[in-house]
Amino acid sequence: QVQLVESGGGLVQAGGSLRLSCAASGDTSAISGVGWYRQAPGKERQLVASITRTSGRDTYYADSVKGRFTISRDNAWNTVYLQMNSLKPEDTGVYYCNAAYYTANFWGRGTQVTVSE
């Protein structure tokens, strides 16, 4: 199994940037993909971006973050990043990383991102 720890969240003004990190430990060689999810207050957790091993750097972005966010990883899949630029108040929420590991999924505890007007 794997363990995930998110970091990098904080309070930022609209238009600013943050870089979130998802540090993975354990059997990271078996991770097939990692996704970043956002849960805003009173809303369901939604996929923001993901990256898989399939084609090396296969990525997905929600329409709301395309052109602003970039997901990346190190070669050993020890850390997955979410670079967030041009942040908007609607980006506010708790950001969680999720790792696909065989047939299981593992979650971190999340990191808070708050974007002020």
Give dist(CA 67, CA 81) in Å, integer: 16
The answer to whether 109 and 6 have CB atoms below 8 angstroms apart is: yes
Contact 31, 100 (CB under 8 A): yes
Residue 115: band (very low, low, confident or very high) from pLDDT cuts 50, 70, 90: very high
Calculate ∠ Cα 8-12-13, nearest 5°: 160
For 52-80, write each residue's pLDDT tens digit.
987 656 999 999 999 999 999 998 889 99
> Does position 92 have pLDDT exceeding 70, yes or no?
yes
Q: What is the per-residue DSSP string for 8-47?
A: --EEEETT--EEEEEEEEESGGGEEEEEEEEE-TTS--EE
